[in-house]
């Protein structure tokens, strides 16, 4: 950080002087000022990094520390002779900057570091384990059951207030390393940690955090790995022809064990919605569920028949015959789609914050220029009036620069919003056309994969080129 400013010629040294708020605040009246000034003198020509700066707003002498900091930043002995960085959590820093309006205007540039996503977190864990020569099967495969389950739990942990990003991943890595050492017979060779034990360590860490945060927890006695088919030897689903001349006809008949999913030749096409409609696919015997509204809806299937699959697509389950490899790829595609949506929204949120900051900055500078202009007009002394013109002109130029930055940020925000709107419209159009084709008789949603879409059950696939999205 200091090297960058040094290379730009802004500082005389690349050294970074790091301190905390307690290094600035005194324990009695009159001690805060000298302590703060001493740190500034030490950091002349360098970078002064104040960590946990929000603590400047706490304690009996906090106001004295803030006033001293504001004064030193504009003092001729220090102005433009060092770089001061205040670091802390976003909400706490916002409270600090609200304590003194002068403090906010003296720190116009704000940088936000967003939370790491689950993929980045797992890369930290993988790196830490490799340093200790520990192998965790599946950690390097984004489509493996272990990877998907760990992603899911990390996302849950990231929703908690005390989420620590890489720091939490370092804690998790230490737990995994400890677990592998406890279960190893020969620590001198490469250690291997089983996926079950790794998931147990992560689940214990997640449950502990949720209890401290008083957040709801869910049972994890068994990892939520992909479910197996309910038939001992499921037949391979027949190929689905989705050409124009066959798109409207009902799906082909399934084997007897699949009778609960297939439509009878005399039945109408199954409902394709995702809600609690008036029944899904027709079955020889209605199941007790949330299907149709008829009087026979409470009947039960004969004991000798394979239990029918749920008729509502609210719960997307694995189709019979879908391999583990294909199922894992489908789950990875789901998570990738969710991550893409989340990242796009994070980018929009960041641009919204930048736009808001630039607008506040521009308004503050414009107000400063106007105040200086009024002061110059009301000043009777010609010399003093001339002195006021220079800072007034500087403030005016800065306000113009802030206005240009605001307009640039606003344009970027508009472009990002428009791109996200078009993406959502295209995806909605694809889902609508896929439902109209009726390829998936249950009406599951469709997941984008490579050059096409696959239903959430896994057995049906449609090429993207057959949807005519670009027409």
pLDDT tens for 40-66 read 999 998 999 998 888 887 766 677 888
Q: Give 49's contacts (C-beta < 8 A, 6+ positions apart).
A: 1, 16, 17, 18, 19, 85, 87
Closest CA to 135 of 189, 85, 96: 189
pLDDT at 457 over 70: yes
Distance CA 58, CA 65 (A): 10
In the structure, what pLDDT confidence band is assigned to residue 219 with cuts at 50, 70 and 90?
low
Closest CA to 206 of 197, 216, 192: 216
Q: Give 119's contacts (C-beta < 8 A, 6+ positions apart).
A: 142, 151, 339
Average pLDDT of span 388-405: 81
In the structure, what pLDDT confidence band is assigned to residue 308 with cuts at 50, 70 and 90?
very low
Q: Domain residue spans in the chain? A: 2-105, 118-212, 332-427
What 8-state DSSP symbol labels residue 51? E
- Does residue 50 contact residue 84 with C-beta atoms inside 8 Å? yes
In which residue are the tokens 């791109």 written? 419
Average pLDDT of span 301-329: 63
Mean pLDDT lowest among 144-148, 157-161, 227-231: 227-231
- pLDDT for residue 6: 59
Average pLDDT for the chain: 75
pLDDT at 380 over 90: no
Pick among 3.40.630.10, 3.40.50.300, 3.40.640.10, 3.40.630.30: CATH of 2-105? 3.40.50.300
In which residue are the tokens 């027709």 written? 282
In the structure, what pLDDT confidence band is assigned to residue 217 with cuts at 50, 70 and 90?
low
In angstroms, the Cα distances linking 440 to 181, 237, 313, 455 are 48, 12, 11, 7
- Pick the residue with more confidence: 27 or 177? 177
State the DSSP H helix or E strand holding residue 419, giving kind and residue range, or none if neither: helix 382-437
Distance CA 109, CA 445 (A): 44
- Does residue 193 contact residue 180 with C-beta atoms inside 8 Å? yes
Query: Which residues on neighbouring strands pair with residue 85, listed in sequence order?
Result: 49
User: pLDDT by residue (tens digit) across 318-360?
Assistant: 888 889 888 888 888 888 888 888 888 888 888 888 888 888 8
| Chain-centre distance for alpha carbon 409 | 22
- pLDDT for residue 198: 92
Task: Please measure the distance between the N-terminal and C-terminal CA atoms of the chain and give it in whole angstroms.
Answer: 50
Stated pTM of the model: 0.44
- Does residue 142 contact residue 333 with C-beta atoms inside 8 Å? no
Average pLDDT of span 145-167: 89
User: pLDDT by residue (tens digit) across 276-293?
Assistant: 333 443 333 333 343 333
């Amino acid at each position: 950080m200091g090297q960058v400013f040094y290379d730009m010629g802004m500082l005389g040294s690349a050294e970074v002087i790091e301190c905390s708020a307690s290094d600035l605040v005194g324990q009695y009246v009159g001690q805060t000022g000298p302590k703060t000034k001493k740190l500034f003198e030490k950091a002349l020509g360098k970078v002064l990094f104040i960590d946990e700066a929000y603590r400047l707003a706490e304690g009996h002498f906090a106001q004295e520390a803030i006033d001293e900091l504001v004064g030193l930043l504009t003092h001729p002995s220090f102005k433009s002779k060092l770089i001061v960085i205040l670091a802390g959590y976003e909400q706490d820093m916002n409270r600090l900057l609200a304590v003194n309006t002068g403090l906010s205007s003296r720190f116009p540039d704000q940088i936000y570091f967003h939370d790491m996503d689950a993929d980045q977190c797992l890369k930290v864990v993988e790196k830490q384990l490799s340093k200790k020569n520990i192998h965790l099967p599946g950690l390097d495969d984004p489509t493996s059951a272990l990877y998907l389950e760990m992603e899911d739990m990390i996302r849950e942990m990231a929703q908690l207030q005390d989420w620590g990003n890489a720091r939490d991943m370092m804690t998790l890595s230490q737990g995994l390393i400890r677990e592998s050492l406890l279960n190893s017979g020969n620590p001198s060779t490469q250690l291997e940690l089983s996926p079950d034990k790794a998931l147990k360590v992560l689940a214990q860490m997640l449950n502990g955090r949720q209890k401290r945060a008083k957040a709801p927890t869910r049972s994890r006695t068994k990892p939520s790995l992909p479910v197996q088919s309910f038939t001992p030897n499921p037949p391979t689903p027949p190929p689905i022809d989705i050409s124009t001349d066959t798109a409207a006809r009902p799906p082909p008949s399934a084997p007897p064990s699949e009778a609960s999913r297939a439509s009878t030749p005399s039945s109408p096409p199954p409902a394709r919605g995702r809600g609690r409609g008036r029944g899904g696919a027709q079955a020889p015997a209605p199941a007790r569920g949330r299907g149709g509204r008829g009087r026979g809806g409470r009947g039960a299937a004969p004991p000798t028949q394979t239990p029918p699959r749920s008729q509502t697509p609210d719960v997307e389950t694995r189709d019979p015959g879908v391999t583990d490899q294909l199922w894992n790829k489908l789950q990875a595609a789901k998570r990738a789609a969710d991550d893409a949506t989340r990242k796009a929204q994070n980018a929009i949120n960041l641009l919204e914050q930048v736009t808001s900051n630039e607008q506040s900055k521009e308004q503050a500078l414009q107000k400063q220029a106007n105040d200086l202009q009024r002061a110059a007009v009301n000043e009777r002394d010609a010399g003093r009036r001339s002195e006021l013109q220079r800072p007034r002109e500087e403030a005016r130029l800065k306000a113009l620069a802030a206005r240009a930055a605001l307009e640039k940020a606003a344009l970027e925000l508009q472009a990002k919003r428009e791109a996200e709107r078009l993406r959502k419209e295209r995806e909605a159009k694809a889902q609508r056309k896929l439902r109209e084709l009726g390829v998936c008789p249950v009406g599951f949603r469709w997941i984008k994969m490579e050059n096409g879409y696959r239903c959430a059950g896994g057995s049906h696939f449609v090429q993207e080129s057959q949807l005519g999205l670009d027409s």
